[in-house]
Amino acid sequence: MTGASASGSGDTVRLAWPDDASTLATVQRQVWLSDGLFGVVDEAGLTEAFGDLDEHAERWRSTLTHSPEARFRVLVATHDDVVVGYGVLHPGSDPDADPVRDAELGDLAVVPGARRDGHGTRLVQAAADTAAADRFSILRTWVAGSDDGARLLLTSGGWASDGAFRELEAPDGRRIKQVRLHTAVA
């Protein structure tokens, strides 16, 4: 699960370690703030909705040390050993998913300053490779209907819509429309 890109030979993807918990919490919050995720646009709103950074890091640490399922993986993209993004891979959780056959890329995030450097592409490829190694045959993910960047990243790599869609309610009451994309990995 390592690779190099034009942006440097220090660019890799690896499994997350428990010691990455604080960094993962920081990266996730940076992405949420920059993307206005859940309608929250400031640190105070994030803290109110999701707890402070230490609580957030502790949830990551717990997830990394006590994975909810044997095929649950957190992958991190690094640049010169600094975590700049992550992807969460697990058995499919949708009602129509076959947990033996279908994997889900439940979250994919790259910090704004490291976007367009190939980290997202490496994370997606590592997720597909990991899903195949875990004997899944389909990899799915949900993308906000308004997230053209994520949709372009995935569709340019061969992903396609499978026709499923949903709406989530944000803490501020906004409705977030999402479409599901999939790709074969076996």
Query: 74-105 pLDDT, tens per residue?
Result: 999 999 999 999 999 999 999 999 989 999 99
pTM of the model: 0.86
Structural domain containing residue 82: 11-184
Give strand pairing partners of 73: 89
| pLDDT tens, residue by residue, 2-27 | 443 344 568 999 999 999 999 999 99
Mean pLDDT, residues 115-138 taken together: 94
Length of the chain: 186
pLDDT for position 4: 37
The answer to the question of residue 1 being in a domain is no
- Tell me, yes or no, whether 3 lies in a domain: no
Total domain count, the chain: 1
Q: Note whether residue 6 is domain-resident.
A: no
Q: What is the CATH number of the domain that holds 159?
A: 3.40.630.30
Whole-number pLDDT of residue 125 = 96
How many other C-beta atoms can be found within 10 angstroms of the C-beta atom of residue 101? 13
pLDDT at 2: 40
> Which one has a higher pLDDT value, 115 or 42?
115
d(CA 57, CA 18): 10
Helices (H), the chain: 21-35, 43-50, 53-65, 119-133, 148-156
Q: Mark residue 169 as left, alpha or beta (left: phi above 0; alpha: psi -120 to 50; beta: remaining).
A: beta
Compute and round to an integer the Cα radius of gyration of the chain: 16
Segment 116-124 mean pLDDT: 91
Task: Please report the pLDDT score of residue 113 as a whole number.
Answer: 85
Over residues 135-164, mean pLDDT: 92
